[in-house]
Amino acid sequence: MKDGFLKVGVASVDVEVANPIHNKEKVMEVMKKADKNGVKLLVFPELVLAAYTCNDLFLQKTLLDEAKKQLFVILEETKGQDMVTVLGLPLTVNHKLYNCAVFVQGGKILGVVPKHYLPNYSEFYEARHFAPGEEEVKMIRLGGKDVPFGMNLLFCCENMEELVIGCEICEDLWSPLPPSTHHALAGATVICNPSASDETTTKDTYRRNLVSQQSARLVCAYLYSCAGEGESTQDLVYSGHNMIAEYGAILKESRRFQNSYIETEIDLQRLEADRRRMTTFVTEGADKKYERVYFRLKEERTQISRTFERTPFIPSNKADRERRCDEILTIQAMGLKKRLAHTHCQSAVVGISGGLDSTLAVLVTARAFDMLNIPRENIVCVTMPCFGTTDRTYSNAVTLTKKLGASLREIRINKAVEQHFSDIGHDPENHDVTYENSQARERTQILMDIANQTNGMVIGTGDMSELALGWATYNGDHMSMYAVNSSVPKTLVRHLVRYYADTSKEQELKEVLLDILDTPVSPELLPPVDGVISQKTEDLVGPYELHDFFLYYMLRFGFHPEKIFRLTRQAFGEEYDVATCYKWLRTFCWRFFAQHFKRSCLPDGPKVGSIAVSPRGDLRMPSDASSAVWMSELDELKDKLGL
């Protein structure tokens, strides 16, 4: 539980109407299974010990007494359980009957939450039997002990401070202002909902949206347990539609029309991170008084069964991915369109290398020019071959420019760079950082001067992954007049270019884009070997798919390096071994801090996703911040891993 994961479960069981003895047995079967699996929070349906569809039998003391008796039997049989379980049953308090959710752990009752909103329309008649629960918490006598009773109860884990549980029951969620809203504002990170929602056509879609949206709105996990098979079908059918949601995403969902048990892990640190970032999520000053019940859980490492996308910036669904790509290209183009219109520029200058980033930049520029009805021939693509340029990238740069209808200028910079080496006294046989960066800065000088010649602006090509790593030459390719790719990670650049290729009606343009996609990522600053690229970026700084994964979880949620490492291993499996994952995570953390000065003077550029590294927007970080705490944790992790 150290890294914030909590295994949770939701179940519907095969009840018999008005038979608490049978229902208790079914409940116990699932409780034993869940406890064995390491589940720490388990939710059963509304009124599960009696069954929801008892109707006027709820007025029979025989049924009420037996349901309460079976609750006590469960307590006796679960004295050794660490798991918190939410059980539904009818309870009489001060001569009134309430529809209740009872929280139990280790043979003890933690508290009782009554249902507030009682549906009494259409097929529902709950107000005939039950009294509405009240917010105020009071003590009731149950099983010979004083127990807190009321809607405004929060169950707080003392040794996992991110875990605060609130509860609402079925119709509570369907109301205009669900109790869970107040629970979350008071600090609840997990909402349990024991429910008995009957099934009618298309109701499942609405129900799913309710659960998903409430978990998103409240930045919480939502555990929804629904009554299923076994309930009376005299007039209605219950499908056992169980769901576990986290911040808008349905992590696990049961098949309807069969009783089932589902479990997964919720990430409480992720929820806490987003609440911490969202200044509009104000917990202080909540206008409700709450009572908090404290409990403890055994401290143990949660085994993770849920999956994590290797490419968190890219939807796995093809249709969603295509929509995302088109939207991002439009956002990039709209940003550039405004800048061109504001400056009255009729020209744009792009350093075209035949690589992915410059390809995306010129594709975006072409779209922006089309929006402004500026001829594409006013896009000046400049190819600047030098020591490391290969025939393949040169040819692709030339072909791409021609197929887009842009203008092409070829300026070989060998002599200019050699003259510069002579001026500063650098040995051209010394292929160090000076050798490499001199080429990048010469190219930037040329682009800037051509922009002056054409009354245009230089369009930046560098992407967010390069900026995160500082893999850019300061005042070289790092600089431009508008950086269209500055919030696009490298893994996404590839998909954007592929989307453009897949949707292109021009076969030759499609072919050149596909060949660019197949070309190794390289700055081409070192001489090729036998005409083939010798300097491959990912051999030097590590795989971009790993760095983008690190970037997402570090900036989006502020996770510890150790947790990011664990998620990396979970996402990539055996594709990268332990030592490789550790090596590149360490590289990422060190470079991220050491290279921030390059981001501090980053040119303007549009934000396209949930993360950006602009010093004027998402990342207001001092350039001289220390990485010592992060590196110390990585040192400890290295020792744990035996590396």
Between CA 156 and CA 104, with CA 23 as vertex, the angle to 5 degrees is: 15
Asked if 516 and 355 touch (Cβ cutoff 8 Å), the reply is: yes
Q: Is 156 a catalytic residue?
A: no
Q: Please tell me the distance from the alpha carbon of residue 74 to that of residue 586, in angstroms, as a whole number.
A: 50
How far apart are the C-alpha atoms of 481 and 458, rounded to whole Å?
A: 5
Cα angle at 365 between 358 and 612, to 5 degrees? Answer: 70
H/E segment holding residue 103: strand 96-105
Catalytic option among 46, 126, 263, 524: 46
**CA 285 to each of CA 93, 162, 281, 393, 563: distance values in angstroms, whole numbers, following the listed order:** 31, 19, 11, 60, 32
Sheet with 164-167, side-by-side order of all strands: 249-253, 243-246, 221-226, 190-195, 164-167, 153-157, 291-295
Angle at the Cα of 340 (from 339 to 342), degrees rounded to 5?
65
Burial of 72 (0-12, 13-18, 19+ CB in 10 A): middle
3-state secondary structure of 333: helix
Is residue 115 annotated as a catalytic residue, yes or no? yes
**Burial class (CB within 10 angstroms; exposed 0-12, middle 13-18, buried 19+) of 252:** buried
Rounded to 10°, the helix 356-372/507-517 angle is: 140
Q: Among the residues of 176-266, which ranges form H helices?
A: 179-185, 203-217
Q: Give the number of other Cβ atoms within 10 Å of residue 468's Cβ.
A: 25
Answer for the pair 584, 568: CB distance below 8 angstroms, yes or no.
no
For residue 625, the one-letter residue type is: A
Q: Kindly state the DSSP code that residue 198 receives in the 8-state scheme.
A: B
For 275-307, give the DSSP string.
HHH-TT---TT-SS--EEEEE-----PPPP-S-
Which of the residues 7, 115, 490, 598 is marked catalytic? 115
Q: Is 141 helix (H, G, I), strand (E, B) or coil?
A: strand
The angle formed by the CA atoms of residues 310, 311 and 312, to the nearest 5 degrees, is 105
What is the spatial distance between Cα 633 and Cα 245, in angstroms, rounded to a whole number? 31
- Assign 3-class secondary structure to 595-624: CHHHHHCCCCCCCCCCCCCCCCCCCCCCCC
Give the H or E element holding residue 635.
helix 628-641
Kindly name the residue from 170, 226, 345, 381 that is annotated as catalytic: 170
* Rounded-to-10 torsion of CA 503, 505, 511, 512: -90
User: In 3-state terms, what secondary structure has residue 175?
Assistant: coil
Burial of 616 (0-12, 13-18, 19+ CB in 10 A): exposed
- Roughly what angle, to the nearest 10 degrees, separates helices 490-503 and 356-372? 60
Q: Is 46 a catalytic residue?
A: yes
List of residues 6+ apart from 398 with CB closer than 8 A? 383, 408, 410
* Residue numbers annotated as active site: 46, 115, 170
